[in-house]
Chain A
Amino acid sequence: QVQLQESGPGLVKPSETLSLTCTVSGGSISDYYWTWIRQSPGKGLEWIGYFSSRGNINTKYNPSLESRVTISLDTSQNQISLNLTSVTAADTAHYYCARDGVAAGGAFYYGMDVWGRGTLVTVSS
C-alpha cells in the first residue's frame, strides 16, 4: 500500500522560501504524476503543479504560481520536493502531496488516488 508523508516547517516568515518534502513508501515513484495541492479557507483546493515520472520527465505548474514554484523528484530517496519562494500570508494553507494516475483496464487515467495527510504551513513573522 503506497503511503505519502509530507514534512517541513510549519511556520515560514514572509518573503522567505517554503520548502516541503513528500516521502513515498510502499511503492514505486515511477510512472505517475506527483502533485502538490494546497487548501485554504479562502481559496479552496488549489493545484500547485506536478512532476511527471511518466515517459518524458517534465513538470507543469499553475500559472498563478509558476514564477515562484519548483517541484523536483529524488528517486534515490523516493521523495518529491516543493519549493515556493517569496511567500506571503496568502500562501498560508494546508499543503498536500498526491499521486495522480490510475491504471485501470490497461489504460491510464488522471485521478489523485493517494494523498498524504497534509501539513499546515503558516506564513507569519
Chain B
Amino acid sequence: EIVLTQSPGTLSLSPGERATLSCRASQSVSNSNYLAWYQQKPGQAPRLLIFAASKRATGVPDRFSGSGSGTDFSLTISGLEPEDFAVYYCQQSGTSPWTFGRGTKVESK
C-alpha cells in the first residue's frame, strides 16, 4: 500500500502567517487527480479542502492551495485565519487501499 508521510507533525504559527504542509508518498500516486487534502477540527468529521492535488472544493477559501505530483505534494495556507488551526490530512485514491497520512497539526503560536 502507499504510505503517505506528512511533515512536519506540528506547525506552530501565528495568524496571518503562511503555512506550508508536505505530503510525501512511498510510491508515485498514479495520477495527481487522486490526491486530496482534508481539514479536521476536534469533534468533527474531516472536511474536503483540495481534490485532484490542486482543485479547491466548493466553499473553500482561496487562501488554501494545493500543488504537486508524483510522490511530492503540498498544501499552502497563504495567511492563517483563526479558524484554520486544525489537523490536515492528505489522502490518495490512486492505488488500493486508499490511504491517509498521519496528519499535520497547525497550532497557534
Contact = CB atoms under 8 A, between A and B. Distances in A.
A58 to B, nearest CB: 12
Interface residues of B, number: 27
Interface in B27-48: 33-34, 36, 38, 44-48
Contacts of B46: 45, 96, 112, 115
Interface string B64-98: 00000000000000000000000001010100111
A63 B34 CA distance: 19
B2 to A, nearest CB: 11
Interface residues of A, number: 23
A98 to B, nearest CB: 8
A109 B99 contact: no
A28 interface: no
Interface string A96-112: 10101010100001111
A47 B51 contact: no
A54 interface: no
Interface in A34-88: 44-47, 60-64
Contacts, number: 69
Given A45-B89, A102-B57, A116-B45, A111 B98 contact: no
Nearest to B45: A115
Contact of A102 (B51, B96, B101): B51
Contacts of B47: 115
Interface of A: 44-47, 60-64, 96, 98, 100, 102, 104, 109-113, 115-118
Interface of B: 1, 33-34, 36, 38, 44-48, 50-52, 55, 57-58, 89, 91, 93, 96-103
The 3 closest A-B pairs by CB, nearest first: A111-B51, A110-B93, A115-B45
